[in-house]
Structures are given as structure tokens and as C-alpha cells.
């Protein structure tokens, strides 16, 4: 079983209710990688027997650190129309004192889609083809403990982390990279979801400082079908992120993810907290 | 009482539960303007006695048409931390058959913010100062019935609706406009929320066709304090929107809203359905 499938595995425990377990392979600093939490929340909808259509949009709010070990997810379809379905998803964990807490919430829209006129206003940047390579060592000790990084192959084309964490302010917060699962796995909605959170906080690039920072809310819109994702297979995705504003503890970013063939698979926005 | 305050007025009916009423002044085609629905959902958090801090992010999912008349909103703080609070908000209405339905859902994060390093990667475009003017007549009969349009003064700088609905595909989906309440009202989170949905579906510009289209999910990140909004007062806001992709019934857009002084007040993303 692929390490990603282990990490997002869910067991039904009651109507609309599932049990899961955190994965050491996707551990971040004080909890799981945000992308794997988003993927397991989405997976509760994907495996739900009442699901209509495929994922169109998801917003995940990170409310508290998910404790190591077991958690439960409640995924409820609150409104079902002819071609869309609206979901509320709640993940419960336990805090340090052993009390049950809401660790994350999500809303999801699933939809049955039909062929229509289609176009893009944001073509993929023209870049060199990816060449598989041994991962360069991370550029700061803090990244050594982030297990999740090892689950992805990331080939940075623009906007890598600074060589020198010198605190000198930069002007460019754009990053562009090829990314795929380190251990090959055919793309699907859950793994695309996880990769939509692959970007370092833009403030690391802008300030060349390792200030405490993390995602508070993450929104992804899906623009491809399950079949189109399956056709991407285990190939690299082209992922781009750009900050817009940083002010008083919070910053945002927008991002796009394309297939190598230039199909826009997902568009992303998120708001992050930061300190100092 | 300002027509906007009437439209977002809520009466507490039980713990976490409020009653409201749709406003004819903000009627759209088959339901209220999406921006006024988002504003009244946010208002349930704003007036809630347990609220911590000010709005940081909101995602509104439009699940079904809100029927004319009364509705209820349940706003529940599901997780409260030292400086952030996570909300789930559900609006119930009745459908044509008289059954209770979920018309919309939202998640909201509120936060207590402190002064930090701040910067922007997306300065406001340089444009001419707004000059108040009599509204130009709308360019298609469909807009005549949209009451909500009359509640806003919109001065279009770029990307107005096409003069000729000739179905000739355009390449540019960016719009830029000055906007404020037609009847002056000092800016606050609720009115800023409503103005974040001011943009026509980008597909109207791209295709010069009035295809059926409407917002499915709207996400706004707030980047200013209540005090900063109050200082904007009744002045115009500069609002910009840009599409990214249109495929198989759904399209997205990203948007930014600045004060005249160039302070980024909010960043926006949304996904819309369209037909044909």
C-alpha cells in the first residue's frame, strides 16, 4: 500500500462518520502536513456512499493541531441538488489535556459536470522539462524534521528558499516548481489536493527569515475530471505560487497547478499566519 | 436606517441562532445578490456575543436559492483558541414546495491581530481618481431587473461589459472599477464583504454572451482592521477581478479590493457555474 493511501485511509464508524490515524510519513512540525489533512478531509467525501459527482471546490480551515494518533471525521451532505452537492466536514482530535477538540473544518462542493466551451486566461509558464534528480539537501535545519518533504520530489525552477537566511528583504515572492509523489502514485483528487499545499510560506522568500508561519485557511478549485487526472498518471505537475499581501500576523497567496501538457488542474488560495 | 443595514439585520432567536429577512433592494434574478447573502452570514458572526477578534477569512457556498422572505442563520464557534476562532454558519430557507433547505453555508475565521512587519506584492494599479457621475444605463435588458445594482455606484475603468453582445470571443477578462454604496455608508466588514462580490461573471466579458452564470463558492481574506475600514469612510474602493480558467460548467476568478490610498483591504477568489 502506498504511504499516501495509508495516510488518508478511513474506516466508516457511523453514518457520515469515519475514523482515521495520523501518518508519521507526513508529519510536519507540531502536527501533520496541512496538505495531508486536507486530503483526508476530502477523502471522507470521496468515500462517502451518498456522494454526487466529483470535487469542484474545497475550503479547509486549520483550527488546532491534530494530535498524533487517531481522529474522527464527520462528513455530511447538507444540501443535494440536481448536479451539485454541498458538504460540511469536521475533524475531531484530542488536545494535550485529553479533551476532544475540533482540529479542522472544511466545506466541499461536488458536482456533475458536462462538456462546455472552455478556455484559460492563465496559461502555464513555459519552462524546461523536468529531469528527475537526487533531492538537494534542504537549506535550513528546520526542514530536516519535516517528514512530509521526503514524500515529494520537488524540482525548483524559480523562487527557491534563500541560500542565506540573512533577513534581507527580497521583492519577489513567486515560486515555480515541478512536483510529484516521491514514490510514484497515479494522480487523483486526494493527491492533487495534498500537492496544492506544497508551497513554503511566501514570507520565507520575502524576508529570508524563518519566522513562525502556517496555513489558516486553504481553498482549492478543481478544474479537471477524475479521468483527466488519471491520464496525468505519475507525471510531474507544474506548480506556481505568488503572495499578494502580508499584514499584521496574516498573509495570503494564490497558486495554480498544471499538468505537464498545460492543463490547469487546480487553482488555489490560502491565508497564513506569521509572527514578528 | 440605511438600506444595507436593513438587509443584513438579524434578530437573535436562540443560542447561535438568528432570524433575518431578504431585502427587495438587493434582489438579483432568482434570489438575493450573492454579496448581500455573504454579508448577512458574516453579520451573524459579527453580532454574536461570543465573537473573538475581527474577520480574517470567510468562505460562502451558495447551495440553493434563498426564498423571498424570512430565513434563519445558525452561527456556531466550533473552536476558540488564544487569538483565533473558527465558525460554521448555516442559512436555512424554504424551497418552492415549502420544505426547509440549506440555502448557504459558510466557514469564518476571526482573529485578534497585532502589529507586524507588513508588505504588499500586489500594489494597486495607478488609475485616475474617481469622479462621481450619473450611472450609465446597463447594456442589456437582463440587468434592469437586478435591483442590487442600483445600491452601488460603479465607475468602470477597464473591462466593462461588452457594448455588443455579439458572441465574439475576447481575450481579456480583467475588470477594474471604483465602487461604493450608492447611498453613502461608512465602510465596515459587512459592506466590504458585499462589495467583494461586485464583479460580473468573467465569462460575460470573455464570450460577449449572456450565458446563465452564478457564484457557487466565494472566499474573502480581510487584510485591514475595523478601524482602517472606518477610516475609509464613504469613499470609493478600487476593485479588480481577473479570470483564470473556464472549463466544463465552472470558471474561477481572483480579485483584489483596495482603498483609494492603496491599502489592500481584501483579496477574493470565487468559482462560478456557467452553461453552454
Please list every residue in chain A whose beta carbon sits closer than 8 Å to the beta carbon of residue B267: 244-245, 252, 254, 269
Q: How far is CA A212 from the centre of its chain?
A: 19
Tens of pLDDT along A76-102? 999 999 999 999 999 999 988 899 999
Q: Do A250 and B111 touch (CB under 8 A)?
A: yes
* Alpha carbon separation from B168 to B165, B207, B247 (Å, rounded): 8, 6, 18
Of A61, A114, A221, the CB nearest to B86: A61
CB contact set of B99 (below 8 Å; sequence gap of 6+): none
Chain B CA closest to residue A270? B221
pTM score, whole prediction:
0.97
Chain B CA closest to residue A171? B121
Whole-number average pLDDT of chain A: 95
CA A28 to chain B, closest CA, distance in angstroms equals 20
**Contact B219/B270 with Cβ under 8 angstroms?**
yes
Strand positions, DSSP E, B95-207: 100-111, 119-120, 152-158, 175-181
Nearest to A84 by CA among B93, B61, B254, B88: B61
CB contact set of B193 (below 8 Å; sequence gap of 6+): B35, B38, B39, B42, B55, B58, B220
Strands A119-120 and A84-94 come out as: unpaired
pLDDT of residue B141: 64
Predicted confidence (pLDDT) at residue A137 exceeds the cutoff of 60: no
Share of chain B above pLDDT 90, in %: 90
- Which of B269, B270, B273, B276 best probes binding to A when mutated, by most A CB atoms within 10 angstroms? B269
Maximum distance among all Cα pairs of chain B, rounded to whole angstroms: 55
User: Which of A161-175, B127-141, B157-171 is the least confident region?
Assistant: B127-141
CA B134 to chain A, closest CA, distance in angstroms equals 33
Chain B CA closest to residue A80? B63
How far is residue A239's CA from residue B210's CA, in Å, rounded to a whole number?
A: 33
Please list every residue in chain A whose beta carbon sits closer than 8 Å to the beta carbon of residue B116: 246-249, 274-276
Nearest to A203 by CA among A241, A176, A164, A243: A243
Predicted confidence (pLDDT) at residue B268 exceeds the cutoff of 80: yes
Q: Do B249 and A116 touch (CB under 8 A)?
A: yes
Residues in chain B: 276
Predicted confidence (pLDDT) at residue A70 exceeds the cutoff of 90: yes
- Which of B97, B121, B220 best probes binding to A when mutated, by most A CB atoms within 10 angstroms? B121
CB contact set of A227 (below 8 Å; sequence gap of 6+): none
Of B83, B113, B122, the CB nearest to A245: B122
pLDDT of residue A133: 72
Chain B CA closest to residue A247? B118
Share of chain A above pLDDT 70, in %: 97
Q: Do B119 and A224 touch (CB under 8 A)?
A: no
CA torsion sign, A55 to A61 to A67 to A72?
negative
CA torsion sign, A212 to A216 to A222 to A223?
negative
Please list every residue in chain A whose beta carbon sits closer than 8 Å to the beta carbon of residue B219: 59, 217, 219, 269
pLDDT of residue B163: 86
**Contact A44/A104 with Cβ under 8 angstroms?**
no
CB contact set of B53 (below 8 Å; sequence gap of 6+): B83, B84, B85, B110, B111, B112, B113
Instruction: Output Rg (C-alpha) for chain A, integer angstroms.
Output: 18
Query: Is the ipTM, as predicted for this complex, more than 0.95?
Result: yes
Tens of pLDDT along B177-197? 999 999 999 999 999 999 999
Residue A6 has a CB neighbour count (10 Å cut-off) of 12
pLDDT of residue A186: 98
pLDDT of residue A143: 74
CB contact set of B98 (below 8 Å; sequence gap of 6+): none
CA B1 to chain A, closest CA, distance in angstroms equals 33
Q: Do A78 and B274 touch (CB under 8 A)?
A: no
Of B78, B118, B122, the CB nearest to A102: B78
Q: Degrees (nearest 5) of the Cα angle A233, A236, A256? A: 110
Please list every residue in chain B whose beta carbon sits closer than 8 Å to the beta carbon of residue A269: 219, 221, 254, 267, 269
Q: Do A63 and B78 touch (CB under 8 A)?
A: yes
10 Å CB burial of residue B234 (0-12, 13-18, 19+) is exposed
User: Which of A109-123, A235-249, B151-165 is the least confident region?
Assistant: B151-165
Q: Which 3-state string (H, E, C) describes A216-252?
A: EEEEEEECCCHHHHHHHCCCCEEEEEEEEEEECCEEE
- Which of the four pLDDT bands, split at 50, 70 and 90, describes residue B140? low
CA A62 to chain B, closest CA, distance in angstroms equals 9
Please list every residue in chain B whose beta carbon sits closer than 8 Å to the beta carbon of residue A81: 63-64
| Most confident listed range (A128-132, B146-150, B199-203) | B199-203
Of B102, B244, B264, the CB nearest to A86: B102
Nearest to B158 by CA among B183, B182, B189, B127: B127
Tens of pLDDT along B21-48? 999 999 998 899 999 999 999 999 999 9
Tens of pLDDT along A28-68? 988 999 999 999 999 999 999 999 999 999 999 999 999 99
How far is residue B46's CA from residue B193's CA, in Å, rounded to a whole number?
A: 12
How far is residue B55's CA from residue B250's CA, in Å, rounded to a whole number?
A: 28
Predicted confidence (pLDDT) at residue B81 exceeds the cutoff of 70: yes
pLDDT of residue B145: 79
Predicted confidence (pLDDT) at residue A185 exceeds the cutoff of 60: yes
10 Å CB burial of residue A90 (0-12, 13-18, 19+) is buried
Whole-number average pLDDT of chain B: 95
Chain A CA closest to residue B65? A81
CA B183 to chain A, closest CA, distance in angstroms equals 30
Q: Do A78 and B84 touch (CB under 8 A)?
A: no
**Contact A238/A127 with Cβ under 8 angstroms?**
yes
Q: Do A102 and B79 touch (CB under 8 A)?
A: yes
10 Å CB burial of residue A108 (0-12, 13-18, 19+) is buried
Q: Do A63 and B57 touch (CB under 8 A)?
A: no
- Which of B61, B81, B199, B209 best probes binding to A when mutated, by most A CB atoms within 10 angstroms? B61
The number of C-beta contacts closer than 8 angstroms across A and B is 218
Q: How far is CA A38 from the centre of its chain?
A: 6
CA torsion sign, B94 to B92 to A218 to B198?
positive
Please list every residue in chain A whose beta carbon sits closer than 8 Å to the beta carbon of residue B275: 116
Q: Degrees (nearest 5) of the Cα angle A202, A30, A58? A: 60
**Contact B274/B211 with Cβ under 8 angstroms?**
yes
pLDDT of residue B144: 75
Q: Do A245 and B252 touch (CB under 8 A)?
A: no
Q: Taking residues B7-22, what's their average pLDDT?
A: 98
How far is residue A152's CA from residue B253's CA, in Å, rounded to a whole number?
A: 29
User: Which of B41-55, B57-71, B137-151, B235-249 is the least confident region?
Assistant: B137-151
DSSP A49: T
* Alpha carbon separation from B112 to A203, B55, B81 (Å, rounded): 20, 9, 10
Predicted confidence (pLDDT) at residue B137 exceeds the cutoff of 60: no
Of A56, A103, A224, the CB nearest to B271: A56
Amino acid at each position: 500500500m502506498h504511504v499516501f493511501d495509508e495516510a488518508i485511509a478511513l474506516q466508516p464508524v457511523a453514518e457520515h462518520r469515519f475514523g482515521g490515524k495520523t501518518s508519521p510519513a507526513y508529519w510536519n512540525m507540531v502536527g501533520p502536513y496541512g496538505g495531508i489533512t486536507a486530503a483526508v478531509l476530502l477523502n471522507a467525501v470521496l468515500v462517502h456512499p451518498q456522494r454526487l459527482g466529483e470535487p469542484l471546490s474545497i475550503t479547509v480551515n486549520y483550527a488546532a493541531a491534530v494530535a498524533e494518533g487517531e481522529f474522527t471525521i464527520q462528513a455530511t451532505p447538507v444540501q443535494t441538488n440536481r448536479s451539485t452537492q454541498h458538504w460540511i466536514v469536521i475533524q475531531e482530535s484530542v488536545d494535550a489535556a485529553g479533551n476532544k477538540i475540533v482540529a479542522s473544518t472544511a466545506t466541499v462542493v461536488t458536482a456533475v459536470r458536462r462538456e462546455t466551451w472552455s478556455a484559460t486566461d492563465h496559461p502555464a509558464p513555459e519552462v524546461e522539462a523536468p529531469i528527475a534528480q537526487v533531492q538537494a539537501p534542504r537549506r535550513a535545519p528546520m526542514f530536516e524534521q519535516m517528514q512530509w518533504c521526503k514524500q515529494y520530489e520537488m524540482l525548483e525552477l524559480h523562487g527557491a528558499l534563500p541560500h542565506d537566511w540573512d533577513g534581507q528583504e527580497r521583492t519577489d515572492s513567486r515560486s515555480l516548481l515541478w512536483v510529484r509523489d516521491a514514490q510514484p502514485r497515479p494522480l487523483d483528487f486526494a493527491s492533487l489536493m495534498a500537492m496544492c499545499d506544497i508551497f513554503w510560506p511566501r514570507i520565507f522568500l520575502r524576508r529570508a527569515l524563518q519566522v513562525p508561519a502556517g496555513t489558516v485557511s486553504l481553498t482549492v478549485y478543481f478544474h479537471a475530471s477524475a479521468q483527466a487526472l488519471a491520464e496525468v498518471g505519475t507525471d510531474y505537475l507544474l506548480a506556481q505560487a505568488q503572495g499578494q499581501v502580508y499584514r499584521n500576523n496574516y498573509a495570503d497567496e494564490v497558486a495554480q497547478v498544471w499538468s505537464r501538457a498545460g492543463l490547469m488542474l487546480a487553482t488555489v488560495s490560502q491565508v497564513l499566519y506569521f509572527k514578528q
